[in-house]
């Protein structure tokens, strides 16, 4: 089966990294981890101490709590 080239991807392959201005990007400016962590005091230490293991099957209680704060009438138990 022959698949036609994806024209947008071919465009970016040709121009994305060798033009002065790229006005067609849909992503944000790239950052290093160091630059990202520098945006908030204490972030580097919190990042280094963050546990990367499994969590409860419904998700981290702390994360569910933070997500529920975005909404006025949502409790952490309602975050799926």
The domain segmentation of the chain, as residue ranges, is 7-78
**Does the structure show a pLDDT above 90 at 51?**
no
pLDDT-above-70 percentage for the chain: 100
- Count of C-beta atoms within a 10 Å radius of residue 43: 12
Rounded to whole angstroms, the Cα distance separating 11 from 35 reads: 29
Give residue 28's pLDDT.
Answer: 80
Q: Label residue 74 by pLDDT band (50, 70, 90).
A: very high
- Count of C-beta atoms within a 10 Å radius of residue 64: 20
């Amino acid at each position: 089966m022959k698949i036609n080239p994806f024209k947008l991807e071919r465009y970016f392959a040709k121009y994305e990294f060798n033009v002065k201005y790229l006005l067609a990007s849909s992503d944000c400016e790239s950052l290093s981890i160091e630059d990202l962590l520098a945006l908030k005091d204490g972030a580097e230490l919190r990042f280094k101490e963050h546990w990367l293991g499994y969590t409860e099957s419904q998700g981290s209680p702390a994360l569910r709590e933070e997500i529920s704060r975005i909404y006025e009438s949502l409790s952490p138990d309602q975050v799926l």
